[in-house]
Structure 1
């Protein structure tokens, strides 16, 4: 590679036609963002960034680059240092930060609350509500649900402090499931700090409940965060910890651990392990017959394990295989499941680009962009950023310019 095409493409998309214009604009942006009048980026520095050896920017500069492009340096062609784990973009203005602060404070209240009678029927009430929240998530997405689910978690936390015996244990189990859902909503919205906090809350409450299935589920939740951070070895380790005592776990929990471990294996380029784990999970799928109200994606999601396989194949660079699987999967996804459909189609477009079918990739991207604007999905925008990287070989071709125009509409509407 004679130049850093990723940064160059991002610069041109931003409308900075020359290196001098980009350096000046980033300097101005950095001085305002960091409140530091000494912050400067010279044209010489930018020229090096777009060269063969871009190096790695200082922490403050990385933050300014992210603010300008919505992407971290490793996605802009910089040389990633050993041990780097990417921070995720916080979707400022999209996530209800006030709700996070409010419910976090409630979860960490010191000492007992005023005692009240807790009817055992409340356990069933919260469990029944949970299924409704899962369905709503499919149609609404995270931003409209975080406040509602967080408020119910706060109520459960309050009731647990007064409840005793089996009612207390039942509420703890419900609280762990609600905390897991809040964690997922923050993760889906692109707020990895919020997601990591709530995954920790899930694990704590699961441990307090002494429920081995929930404890396993909470570790899989932690592994999901590590998958999004690109830390494949940590994903594998967490899932192996779940499966160490597999014979005592519900088939559903074992399936969740196996499919998540497959994602970890794909991050460290182990295709054979990916297939072995997903094939084992497929053999277990007919055995899922529990009445647990949480973790039912394997029953609810059409082609659940093939979705995981296609995603893993995409990470492994197997464009043809992944594209074929996505075609099968999407045939069974209802039009009403807009958010999932958009994410899957974005991955299908990346697979097409990897298979050197750029026109097909852009055709798919047009539909994805419309769904991304409707749903405000951070996951979908992250997938479109990966598509942009896969399409770099065609950046200066007409098909590449078409993609830039499509993605610009998503950036403007986000």
Structure 2
């Protein structure tokens, strides 16, 4: 029996791995959206929707599906009736306003707060929590963590307003680290407006803390967003600014700035600068000995700098060299680092395709696609969309059709 793959793909994209889960989530969403406790979609109904005769949902159900999945029924594989006109449930301005409020609510709490005693021990508490969030991010991806970390940031901001002296400066430093993590989570989720906002928050708090290491770290964070936007010149500018006072920075921050500047160089097509910058960063790795709780990817991630080099080589179109590096890197990346491993697999597949190995690219991409469905990482979806572009020469061949089928649950059709 044929299936409604469009609805199934959208269900998997939002993390509803079973039909029963989808029915329960859409029922809950509809009851809240329509303010109607009688709204209900059964698992049996959803199963029919994913079959060969999905029919057409009622207009209220169509609105709920659109609000939950971001698509109207005709884009979800339903049989469009004659004369169907899409209703406008929210005007564009209201959608943008709600999105902005969602992003900024945790950072912009207006007015004074009631003064309270802030024990210095809270700095260590939040630092320990931060390390746990870093580990959870490797397993869960962004969507399940944004709310939790944002709520903790809001508490930190409240405490900063009451803290004094060294305790206040310590709380500012930990607050900057939390803001940086939230910015990263939004970036990984594909919300670049949210990412850019939180990178700005990070930089503001870093400046207020007067910590040169955090100021450098915040500039590298800004450069990461510019890398995802493909603005190589801006990446280089920001990293050079971070390195202006390199002698005052701990080696870890210098490594971060150098490797990010290498990404900027790859965006401008400068292969020699890529190698020079990553080699310089590699010479600093053995000197990393600080106890700062943030920015520890360089010592937490096996093959950290070769990952950056392989990514830059792929961006430069050096498919064979990139594929060789990815093969080495993935041999040491643990299976538990599932989200990062999925991103690396997607880049490896693209490098293999660029080197003229479409069958190898397909085999690698199938593993990456499964991880992308589980983690809902927009960054991974972008990598897989890039793979599709590189695989266009084989689009009509069996390997191309197999790739399209493998990526259908995670990559928007063009």
TM-score using structure 1 length: 0.75
Q: For residues 134 and 365 of structure 1, do their structure 2 counterparts lie closer, same or farther at Cα, with a shift above 3 Å needed? A: same
Counterparts of 2:225 and 2:143 in 1: how far apart (Å)? 18
- CA displacement, residues 127-158 of structure 1 (integer Å, 9 cap, x when unaligned): 11111111111111111111111111000000
Tell me, yes or no, if structure 1 residue 258 matches structure 2 residue 258: yes
| Displacement after TM superposition at 1:104 (Å) | 2.0
Match of 2:245 in 1: 245
Contact 2:226 2:235 in 1 (8 A): yes
Counterparts of 2:187 and 2:217 in 1: how far apart (Å)? 16
| Displacement after TM superposition at 1:331 (Å) | 0.1
Where do residues 143-154 of structure 1 align in structure 2 (5 Å cutoff)? 143-154=143-154
Match of 1:172 in 2: 172
| Displacement after TM superposition at 1:108 (Å) | 1.9
Match of 2:110 in 1: 110
Match of 1:386 in 2: 386
Counterparts of 2:394 and 2:139 in 1: how far apart (Å)? 35
Further displaced range: 125-134 or 287-296: 125-134
Q: For residues 309 and 378 of structure 1, do their structure 2 counterparts lie closer, same or farther at Cα, with a shift above 3 Å needed? A: same
Contact 2:385 2:411 in 1 (8 A): no
| Displacement after TM superposition at 1:409 (Å) | 2.9
Counterparts of 1:297 and 1:98 in 2: how far apart (Å)? 33
Contact 2:384 2:411 in 1 (8 A): no
Helix, strand or coil at the partner of 1:171: helix
Where do residues 187-206 of structure 1 align in structure 2 (5 Å cutoff)? 187-206=187-206
Counterparts of 1:98 and 1:289 in 2: how far apart (Å)? 43
- CA displacement, residues 316-372 of structure 1 (integer Å, 9 cap, x when unaligned): 000000000000000001111111111101100000110011111111111111111
| Structure 1: unaligned runs, 5 residues or longer | 1-12, 15-65, 69-96
Contact 1:99 1:146 in 2 (8 A): no
Where do residues 250-329 of structure 1 align in structure 2 (5 Å cutoff)? 250-329=250-329
Where do residues 365-376 of structure 1 align in structure 2 (5 Å cutoff)? 365-376=365-376
Contact 2:345 2:364 in 1 (8 A): yes
Match of 1:219 in 2: 219
Helix, strand or coil at the partner of 1:107: coil
Q: How many residues align?
A: 322
TM-score using structure 2 length: 0.75
